[in-house]
Structure 1
Amino acid sequence: MTTPATPTDERRPGYRDLLRTPGAWRFVIPGFLARQPIAMLGIGTVLLVEHTTGSYGAAGIVTAISGVAMALIAPQSGKLTDRFGQRAVLVPAVLLHALTVSLLIVLALRDAPLWALFAAAVPAGATTPPISPMVRARWSASLDDSSPLMTTAAAFESVTDEFTFIVGPVLTTALCTTVHPAAGLVAEAFLILGGGLFFAAQRGTQPPKALGQEGTSGKKARRDSATRTDSGSGPDSGPGAGGARPHAKDGGRSALSLPGVRVLIPALLGIGSVFGGMQVSIAAVTQFAGQPELNGVLYGIFATGNTLAAVAVGTIRWRRSAQARLLIAYPVLVLATAALAAAAQLTPWLALLGALGLVAGLCVAPSMITGFTLVELLVPAAVRTEAFTWLTGAVALGQAAGSMAAGQLTDGFGAGAGFLAPAAGTGLALTALVVFRRRLADRRGGRGSARGVSHRAPVTVD
């Protein structure tokens, strides 16, 4: 009997190593296409509703409502995905989302009352398919839990997300300002329909269902769950630790029952407030400056900073634990958003705001990537998709709150006031993170990545 050897070199595995994972390209490319419209929904709604109502406050509220609906429904979609499989959830979600976004467009163009726009925003947000958590779950199914490639995968997904937030807003702004105010959301509906169905068709890379899955993959999932149970006997796995001990019935429990997940939610809420507040605030200051066409450019600069930082995080071999990294990165993010907010109150100079936006973007990715990395360490595989959707839902909810707060501040106090929303959101999140930091302790001591490049351990054969 033979077992393939595991490399023992201490180099940090890079993106090339990650993309050599068997079957990776089968979900990476469709996943990128399918998530592209997610970055278009918020800014497309802001630009369309502001055009038809003349109010950034109204536009922010409509966007916030769709974000809240997305945040509340996404975890339930994740739980259903864990149980019934990705395709069963994704196909109907994609079809319903295209229909509900179309309804929102029609109502806005017909000058429907605000209550009608609010009502239409609920299903538009609720039916947004959780593409990013699904892709992350496919990485988890393809890699060993202790592989250093898990951190690389988290970084790669953040790079992909942030590249999406570069292309999406720029494309949406260009369509809305040069073609028609509704063109951005029209493109969003078509892209989510085509990209989502393409991703759903990649059935071979789906993770096994937590319940009711038979055959080799089902046995493998149960074996992985049992292995994680054994590894949870360390000092950080007891009551009150972030990695509450999983057990054989993890498939029937909620990821929200894990203390570590509950602590990460406010951290991701704060990050979401940065995205939402920046979208509305940048749109407001560029219009105030008489250069609305620069809206997508400035937001793209912010997202570029995020992308560059995400690439860097994925190439570094970290010696500190993920918990320690998060507690270092998050205060830096708070300082960056505070500096941007202060500058926006003093001057509407777009070049300065763009430079500070780049700095803020550089500070977002380390916190976000580390948060998702902690999910890999704290959450059993049977409920991991649900955990990812709680966190992505928290980002969406924070984005909604940030959009609404920035819109109200802009209408009440001027174009630059909206930047106060991200500063406040991250500041409050940091407070919660510091107070409950012990619940983020990794029961494996954060040393799982020291073993070198590895995928899921192959079963020995004769």
Structure 2
Amino acid sequence: MVSTVNSASRPGYGQLLRTPRALSFVLPGFAARQPFAMLTMSIVLLVQHTTGSFGTAGAVAAVAGVSMALFAPQNGKLADRFGQSAVLVPGVLVNAASVIALAALALADAPLWALFAAAVPVGISVPQVGPMVRARWAAVLDKPEQQPLTQTAAAFESVTDELTFVVGPVLATALCTWVHPGAGLATQAVLTLAGGLLFAAQRDTQPKPHGALAGHARAEHVSAFSIAGVRVLAVALLGIGSVFGGMQVALTAFAEEAGQPGVNGLLYGIFAGGNMLAGIACGAIAWKVGPRRRLLVGYTVLALAASTLWTVHSVALFAVVGLLMGMSIAPALITGFTLVEALVPATARTEAFTLLTGAVALGQAAAVTLAGRLADAHGASAGFLVPMAGTVLALLTLVALRSRLVPASKGRTVARGVGHRVPVAVD
């Protein structure tokens, strides 16, 4: 099916950023999401330093990741209902304090149960800034004539996410390796507090809470998780999370095996840089194929690329493979978030975005734990089997349940805010 956006009307990033009020939340949003990209790597490096075990480090990071994944949809639901700032301000305060507590316990050689206990509030309180920014784009672009900008906004957000994942792991590695093992988490706490409060202060661009939406104050709320297509997308993003988690731990082990322990941040940056470059390209292309088909094709390429990681044994070759691997993620990730626009009503959009972000975190947490144990027992190559398994299983699910990714309305329209509907191409 041909997309409703053609080459003549395809807007670029410049036009997107000229949208009124856009920069007021884009810039602080970028600063506020940076700490999330540092968290897993900072935990892994600190706990591995204090315990000597990748498996233990991965388990502690996994507890934080699972806690985040379980609470993220509730975080989004609360933001939809009460407003983003009301949820974000207490969240960043709790997160900063929890991160400092976890770092202090790790440096004090606290028992493993204490590290697990400290990791729970760290994960629960992770600020869901990325989903909140996406929800703000959806609110700002909530007019029929701005429909072509939604795909550009999805691509822009993917690029922004990947830019943070280029900077975050490299910064965390540099701080933990060259400054102090706990410096990564300390910096993460400071950035969370400063960036989160600055973003929360931009109240005029946040989506209106349910009670403030005219005509929706007494409307029945639809949970994002009750939508079959969202559950299918969550499985897809679980697979993408397995790539992020498996790569972070297995890359650390790979760099140590190669005798270059500081190169893991650089290699992960190359991987994330490939994702960012592909994201830029995805946002610039005038697609003639709908997002559902693009998701299936992109995910197939991702699974094939992930299946080669365990065969790589040199730093130089991994830089090349990692770049290609990163470039295969962006098309799948962008189209997954784009489909949310077609599947989910406006009143559940932040919840949907946080549900998908939580799925990434859950996949990452499981991968960090499994890859860490495999790397401890059998070396880095075994750790790279985790991204392969995660993406292949998710691809099989996508293929089997692809019909669930079509909006339920017969006219293939989806609500865009209040009072009007616009056509959405999905094939």
Q: Which category of TM-score, normalised to the shorter sequence, fits these structures?
A: over 0.9
Q: Give 1:345-364 correspondences, 5 Å limit.
A: 347=313, 349-364=314-329
1:368 to 312, 333, 337: 333
From 243, 246, 249, the equivalent of 2:219 is 249
Of 275, 278, 282, 1:313 maps to: 282
Deviation, structure 1 residue 12:
1.3
Q: Residue 118 and residue 8 in structure 1: after superposition, are their counterparts in 2 closer, same or farther (change >3 A)?
A: closer
Letter of the 2:79 partner, please give it.
Answer: T
Aligned residue runs from structure 1 range 54-203, under 5 A: 54-144=52-142, 147-203=147-203
For 1:97-137, what per-residue CA distance to the aligned partner results, in whole angstroms no more than 9, with x for missing partners?
Answer: 00100110011000011111111111111100100010000
RMSD: 2.2
| Paired position in structure 2 for 1:267 | 236
Aligned-partner Cα distance in 1 for 2:418–2:222: 25
Task: After TM superposition, give the deviation of residue 292 of structure 1 in Å.
Answer: 1.1
Aligned to 2:39: 41
Matching residue of 1:258: 227
Note the C-alpha offset of 1:249. Answer: 3.1
User: Secondary structure of the residue that 1:292 maps to in structure 2?
Assistant: coil
How far off is 1:11 after superposition?
Answer: 3.1
Q: Distance between the aligned counterparts of 1:144 and 1:197, measured in 2?
A: 26
> Over residues 156-207 of structure 1, what are the superposed CA-to-partner deviations in whole Å (9 max), with x where a residue is unaligned?
0000000000001111111111100000110000000000000000111111
Displacement of 1:444 in angstroms is 7.4
For 2:275 and 2:13, locate their aligned partners in 1 and report how far apart those are by CA, in whole Å: 17
Partner SS state of residue 126, structure 2: coil
Q: Kindly report which structure 2 residues correspond to 1:406-417, keeping only aligned pairs within 5 A, or say none.
A: 406-417=371-382
Q: Distance in 1 between matches of 2:52 and 2:87?
A: 37
Is it true that 1:322 corresponds to 2:322 in the alignment? no
* Structure 1 residues 367-401: Cα deviation after superposition (integer angstroms, max 9, x where no partner): 00000000011100000000001000000001101
Shift of 1:144: 2.9
Q: Which residue is equivalent to 2:425? A: none
Alpha-carbon distance in structure 1 between the residues aligned to 2:81 and 2:417: 24
On the 8 A contact 1:21/1:455 being kept in 2, the answer is no
SS at match of 1:36: helix
Give structure 1 stretches of 5+ with no counterpart: 1-6, 226-247
> What amino acid is the match of 2:373?
Q
Deviation at 1:95, TM superposition (A): 0.1
Q: What is the DSSP-based 3-state SS (H/G/I as helix, E as strand, rest coil) of the residue aligned with 1:207?
A: coil
Q: Deviations over 1:13-47 (max 9, x none)?
A: 11011111110000000000000000000000000
1:253 is displaced (CA, Å) by: 2.7
What is the alpha-carbon distance in structure 2 between the residues aligned to residue 184 and residue 402 of structure 1? Answer: 21
TM-score, L = length of structure 2: 0.93
Q: What does residue 235 of structure 1 align with?
A: none
Runs of 4+ residues over 2 Å off in structure 1? 7-11, 442-449, 454-458
The answer to whether the 8 Å contact 1:276/1:398 transfers is: yes
Number of the residue aligned with 1:426: 391
Shift of the 326–446 alpha-carbon distance from structure 1 to 2, 3 Å rule, reads: farther
In 2, Cα distance between equivalents of 1:94 and 1:80: 15
Counterpart Cα distance in 1 of 2:58 and 2:7: 51
1:318 deviates by 1.1
Which residue identity does 1:100 align to in structure 2? S
Task: Check conservation: 1:323, 1:374, Cα contact below 8 A.
Answer: yes
Q: Is the 8 A contact 2:250 2:372 kept in 1?
A: yes
5+ long unaligned stretches in structure 2:
421-427
Q: Aligned partners of 2:44, 2:302: CA distance in 1, in Å?
A: 25
Which among 247, 259, 262 is matched to residue 290 of structure 1? Answer: 259
User: Conserved in 1, the CA contact under 8 Å of 2:9 and 2:148?
Assistant: no
Rg larger in structure: 1
CA contact (8 A) 1:310 1:366 kept: yes
Q: TM-score, normalised by structure 1?
A: 0.86
The aligned counterpart of 2:424 is: none
Letter in 1 for 2:404: R
Q: Match for 1:261: what amino acid?
A: V
Structure 1 CA distance, aligned partners of 2:296 and 2:388?
17
Q: Number of aligned pairs?
A: 413
> Is residue 94–residue 192 contact of structure 1 (8 Å, CA) maintained in 2?
yes
Cα gap change, 1:266 to 1:289, in 2 (>3 Å): same
Q: Which AA in structure 1 matches 2:388?
A: A
